[in-house]
Structure 1
Amino acid sequence: MSIINAIDVSASGMSAQSTRLNTIASNLANAESVSSSEAEAFRAKLPLFESHRVNPSDPGLGVRVTEIVESKAPPTAVYSPNHPLADPNGYVYKSNVNTVEQMADMMSAQRSFEANVEVLKASKSLAEATIRAMGAK
């Protein structure tokens, strides 16, 4: 694998983790939202990743987001007859976002992003050292 391909693989990981972090931010922003029906309730979004070859002539595999899907977990029905959005039975429907899971996922995504930054830094240092060595000859 060439240094450029290592940089491409690292950049693909950073891009995927950035999408993951943005999705988590959206989920957390909507965690306390309520609606008047189960169908309208906010559902957590989940990015799906797949590996892919960043350069057809190189064995290095990167990662990309293929799609963002909604969680299948049902929203929570909360009895609140005085709420302005309550349905005829007195229920409002809270999003299915689990904030504890989202925070743990956010820490994981942040660490993955940072690991890719470190790989990028190491690749850059290696490229600079190679250029210096070639210039010294």
Structure 2
Amino acid sequence: MELLPALAISASGLTAERLRLDLIANNLANINTTRTPRGGPYRRQVPVFAEKLREALGQSPGQAPGRGVEVAAIVEDNTPPRLVYDPSHPDADPNGYVALPNINIVTEMVDMITATRAYEANVTVLNAAKAMTLKALEIGR
């Protein structure tokens, strides 16, 4: 395996997981946001990852390994908002229910742990590729 592509693949994974962690932090920060500029409660955001296509680089699938990952889109979760009875809230409907964001803190924490572990795995690969490069330079002396 060539080392520079390994570094590029790991770097793309680091970038994608960092964005995923940013979205999780944004979701948690807006867990009680009932009013957005578009109207209604905040909607949970999730990234959609896609493999960087080999064909875009002019290579057939059998020629080379993948080229990493990219964020294809950031989409809103379509689950309905949580309804909480609070007639004193300024955003309560006529029946006294407030539409809160569709964010589940347990889901966000599990996503945070998996994103952190994926980030750590990419750092490990990056460090291994760097160590192999240094060894190759030592051998070349």
TM-score (normalised: structure 1): 0.89
Aligned to 2:26: 26
Unaligned 5+ runs, structure 2 = none
Q: Secondary structure at the match of 2:89?
A: coil
Residue number in structure 1 paired with 2:82? 76
**8 Å Cα contact 1:50-1:64 kept in structure 2:** yes
Quick one: distance in 2 between partners of 1:20 and 1:63?
12
Q: Is the 8 Å Cα contact of residues 35 and 92 (structure 1) preserved in structure 2?
A: no
Match of 1:121 among 123, 127, 130: 127
Task: Give the drift of 1:35.
Answer: 3.9
In 1: Cα distance, 2:53 partner to 2:119 partner:
19
Q: Secondary structure at the match of 2:40?
A: coil
Which position in structure 1 is the counterpart of 2:65?
60
In the alignment, the residues of structure 1 paired with residue 52 and residue 33 of structure 2 have an alpha-carbon distance, to the nearest angstrom, of 36
| Residue type of the alignment partner of 2:121 | A
| 1:99 aligned residue (105, 112, 115) | 105
CA RMSD, 1 decimal: 1.9
- For structure 1, list consecutive stretches of 5 or more residues without a partner in the other structure: none
> Secondary structure at 2:52's aligned position in 1?
strand
TM-score, with length taken from structure 2: 0.87
Taking the aligned partners of 1:114 and 1:31, their CA distance within structure 2 comes to 27
- How many residues are aligned here? 133
- The worse-fitting range, judged by mean Cα deviation, of 75-84 and 13-22 is 75-84
Partner AA of 2:108 in structure 1: Q
Q: CA deviation at 1:31?
A: 1.2
Residues of 1 paired with 2:53 and 2:139: CA distance?
A: 30
Give matches, 1:35-50, under 5 Å.
35=35, 40-50=40-50
Question: 1:53: how far off?
Answer: 4.3
Identical pairs, percent: 41
Flag as ranges the 4+ runs of structure 1 deviating above 6 A: none
- Greater strand fraction, Structure 1 or Structure 2: 1
1:72 partner letter: N
1:77–1:93 Cα contact (<8 Å) kept: yes
Q: Which amino acid aligns with 2:100?
A: K
- Indicate if the aligned counterparts of 1:41 and 1:93 stay in contact, CA closer than 8 A: yes
Which range moves more in the overlay, 104-113 or 72-81? Answer: 72-81
